[in-house]
Chains A and B, each alone.
Chain A
């Protein structure tokens, strides 16, 4: 009797393999099997979904995708043409050059009349230097350098005006 009991325990130990299953596995197993069987039944009748695409669609699709992806990268890899005036640095450099040229122009314009005057004075001095001194003395002494004097006296003129012109005429003319 005791030996039988010991054998039972021993057998029980042998039957336990140490394997386990997830919680509620056997509850879900039957559901999963039923779902698989139903799905397989559908598949025997319905192999595909009935959707179609236009002719050569996938070739065009690939070309479209490549145009939006790899082709764009190719464009980036090519040397980029940048408009000269897009750079703000160039704009400012040009403006600075313009101002510098304008400023220099104005400065030299202001300097020129002075130089011109100096040049004219030098030329006059040179001319005088070249003329014989005696010729200049003769020219000055022969020229009438005195101011022409009026033959009539101021009081005579005053009397003449007062006798020939009325007060009104004088007032309107003055």
Chain B
């Protein structure tokens, strides 16, 4: 199926008569990408479900004021990323737990989840990712799973391309080390 262009979505959204149709097109195009982006950060399906709905409600409310000098999908990704970071920070504050304990908690959620059917290596990769600081994990996910360009990730996170490359490199090295310690080699 031919993907509708962002410009067409924005044009239709600007017209009140075709606004609902435009939002439907936007959901068809981006809801799965955004869901997976959030899910990889918060791990739990129910949390991701709540957050993805919040993100698109915000998109609906603010799309009218969206300035087309930025790209639509990087704008939506930015909203989703901010929602994830806010959620994880609240989780830390609520439980009054340090970062490594939050990672342990997320790792336990992953193992106990009924919506994770990965094999041993997939599980280990996810556990390795959970040992990373949030920002490195975010950058790794966007580069590795979402296959975004550094320029796009830079627009989403507000970090320079050079810093992103360095973060990705460090993340990969940490994952390699984690895997080696678990006797998993590639």
Contacts and interface: CB of A to CB of B under 8 A. Distances in A.
Interface residues on B, range: 35 or more
Interface stretch (A68-76, A86-94, A116-124, A154-162): A68-76
A44 B121 CA distance: 12
Contacts of B115: 51-54
Given A50-B126, A69-B60, A32 B169 contact: yes
Nearest to A65: B56
Contacts of B35: 53, 58, 61
A50 B123 contact: yes
Q: Kindly name the residue among A31, A41, A50 whose own CB sees the greatest number of chain B CB atoms within 10 A.
A: A50
A64 B125 contact: no
A65 B31 contact: yes
Interface string B149-183: 00000000000001001101100110110000000
Nearest to A34: B169
Contact of B121 (A46, A61, A70): A46
A22 B122 CA distance: 37
Interface SS of A by simple majority:
helix
B56 A69 contact: yes
Nearest to B186: A41
Contacts of A9: none
Contacts of A111: none
Interface string B105-118: 00000000001111
Contacts of A38: 172-173, 175-176, 186
A50 B118 contact: yes
A49 B122 contact: yes
A58 B118 contact: no
Interface stretch (B3-11, B45-53, B73-81, B88-96): B45-53
Interface in B121-150: 121-123, 125-126, 143-145
Interface residues of A, number: 33
A53 B40 CA distance: 12
Contacts of B172: 34-35, 38-39, 42
A126 interface: no
A43 B32 CA distance: 21
A39 B173 contact: no
Nearest to A23: B162
B14 interface: no
Contact of B166 (A31, A61, A73): A31
B24 to A, nearest CB: 7
A62 interface: yes
A62 B34 CA distance: 12
Given A52-B116, A61-B35, A35 B126 contact: no
Contact of A51 (B39, B119, B169): B39
A65 B57 contact: yes
Contacts of B116: 50-52
Interface of A: 22, 28, 31-32, 34-35, 38-39, 41-46, 48-54, 57-58, 61-62, 64-66, 68-70, 73-74
6 contacts: A34-B172, A42-B186, A49-B145, A53-B45, A68-B57, A70-B19
Given A42-B144, A51-B36, A70-B20, 4 more contacts: A31-B169, A41-B186, A50-B118, A51-B45
